[in-house]
Amino acid sequence: MQTVLYQFLIEVPRAALIWSGLLVLAVAVLAGLVARPEREAPPDAEPAPAAAEEAQLADLRRYADEVAVAAAGAAQTARRRREQWLAVQADVDRAWQAYDEAEDAVRRLAGAAVLPAPRTPRTPAEYAARERWLHHAAMAAHWRGELTARQLADVFAHRNGWDPRRHPAEQEIVLARAVRDGRLAGYRAAAERERRAWRDADLAAEAARALAVEAYAAAQRLRPGHAPVRRSAAPALAPIAPAGARTARWRPARVG
């Protein structure tokens, strides 16, 4: 009985001392938390105005860089398309000059055709000579690029108006007209290519202009003092006018 009373008297003060120390420590920690001037904001709290503005500027800066790169690429494409159009235009000029020369040759030969053709004996030897002359003239024209392989085949097959029995003066006119018609077809094909190249160059120039305007506007948004925009409203590219409403920057040499 005395032993139990002794342990009770010894343990109770010790437990009270321990609980008192824990209570003092808890009060000190609580006081420190309450007195702490800065407290962390919860994760779902709204960012500070300065942080939001910095994020908006970062978005605008990234967009301006992307538009600047796109504008530089569009300008390079426009220059390349314009160079291609100029090259095709030179082809059109050469094709027209070749056709004009062929037309002059036809007119000269047609003027000389009013004179009576020299009379020659219509013998097998004469017709053989006329055929040889036609074949030789057609071969020479083919090697000069004035007759196609199909036209040359027609000459040797004596079809599509090629008659070896005609006098060489008449055959020369037929040959000159065939060369003129071929060069006219070549000119028309070159003119069509030029129209397509000019249309592509015009579209590329318009796209480059629109991107350059948008790149300038995006750069202006980054200047100090510019009115801020909402982050949800992303800048949009300037629309490109339809083909019928555009003003032509370059025009082909001939459209007919």
Spell out the domain ranges in the chain: 52-118+167-237
d(CA 176, CA 236): 60
DSSP reduced 3-state for 108:
helix
Q: Which residue has the higher pLDDT, 155 or 39?
A: 155
Which pLDDT score, from 0 to 100, does residue 255 have?
38
pLDDT-based confidence at residue 100 (cuts at 50, 70, 90):
very high
pLDDT of residue 124: 83
Task: Inform me whether the pLDDT recorded for 179 exceeds 80.
Answer: yes
Residue 226 confidence (pLDDT) above 60: no
Residue 15 in this model has a pLDDT that exceeds 90: no
Q: Does domain 52-118+167-237 have CATH number 1.10.1200?
A: no
Lowest mean pLDDT among 18-27, 52-61, 126-135: 18-27
User: What per-residue confidence (pLDDT) applies to 238?
Assistant: 37
Reply yes or no on whether the pLDDT at 196 is more than 50: yes
For residue 139, the number of C-alpha atoms closer than 13 Å in the C-beta half-sphere is 7
> b/e per residue, 44-81, with b = 16+ CB within 10 A?
eeeeeeeeeeeeeeeebeebbeebbebbeebbebbeeb
Burial group, residue 39, by CB count within 10 angstroms (0-12, 13-18, 19+): exposed
As a whole number, the mean pLDDT across the chain is 75
R_g of the chain computed on alpha carbons: 46
What is the identity of the amino acid at 106? V
pTM for the full model? 0.59
